[in-house]
C-alpha cells in the first residue's frame, strides 16, 4: 500500500538547510519516492500551521520509506536538516477502499 509523509518544517538556518536540499532528490529518488508538494505558504483552512515549509512525499509502501529514512546516505544528509530546522513528520498509509 502506498505510504505518504507529511512534513511540517521550520527552517532556522537557510544556508545549512540548502546543503540538505541540494542532496535530497538524488537519495530520495533511489527509493522510488515522489515529491508531490512543497509549499512555503500553504492556504490554512482550519487551525494554525506554524512552519516555514510543508512537504508531501509518496513512497511505494512503508517498508521502502523506512529503507530510505534509515539508509546511511540519507541519515548523513539529514544531519544538515537536523542542524538547520525543526520538524513534525508523520507517516500515513494510503487509502484502500473496500471492494464492492
Range(s) of the domain holding residue 57: 3-93
pLDDT in tens, 7-58: 999 999 999 999 999 999 999 999 999 999 999 999 999 999 999 999 999 9
Q: Is residue 98 part of a domain?
A: no
Q: How many domains does the chain have?
A: 1
Instruction: Name the grid cell of 42.
Output: 500553504
Q: Is residue 77 part of a domain?
A: yes
Whether pLDDT at 98 is above 80? no
- Beta-bridged to residue 55, according to DSSP, are 7, 38
The CATH number assigned to the domain holding 49 equals: 3.30.70.100
9 Cβ contact list (under 8 Å, min separation 6): 51, 52, 53, 54, 55, 81, 85, 86, 87
Q: Is residue 64 part of a domain?
A: yes
The whole-number pLDDT of residue 95 equals 81
Instruction: Name the grid cell of 58.
Output: 509518496
Nearest to 28 by CA among 1, 76, 65: 65
Q: Is residue 99 part of a domain?
A: no
Whether pLDDT at 90 is above 70? yes
pLDDT in tens, 49-89: 999 999 999 999 999 999 999 999 999 999 999 999 999 99
> Is residue 68 packed enough to be buried (19+ CB in 10 Å), middle (13-18) or exposed (0-12)?
buried
Amino acid at each position: 500500500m502506498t505510504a505518504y509523509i507529511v512534513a511540517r518544517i521550520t527552517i532556522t538556518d537557510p544556508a545549512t538547510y540548502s546543503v540538505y536540499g541540494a542532496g535530497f532528490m538524488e537519495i530520495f529518488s533511489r527509493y522510488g519516492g515522489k515529491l508531490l508538494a512543497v509549499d512555503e505558504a500553504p492556504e490554512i483552512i482550519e487551525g494554525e500551521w506554524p512552519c516555514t515549509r510543508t512537504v508531501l512525499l509518496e513512497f511505494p509502501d512503508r517498508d521502502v520509506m523506512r529503507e530510505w529514512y534509515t539508509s546511511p546516505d540519507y541519515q548523513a544528509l539529514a544531519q544538515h536538516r537536523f542542524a538547520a530546522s525543526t520538524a513534525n513528520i508523520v507517516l500515513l498509509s494510503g487509502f484502500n477502499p473496500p471492494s464492492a
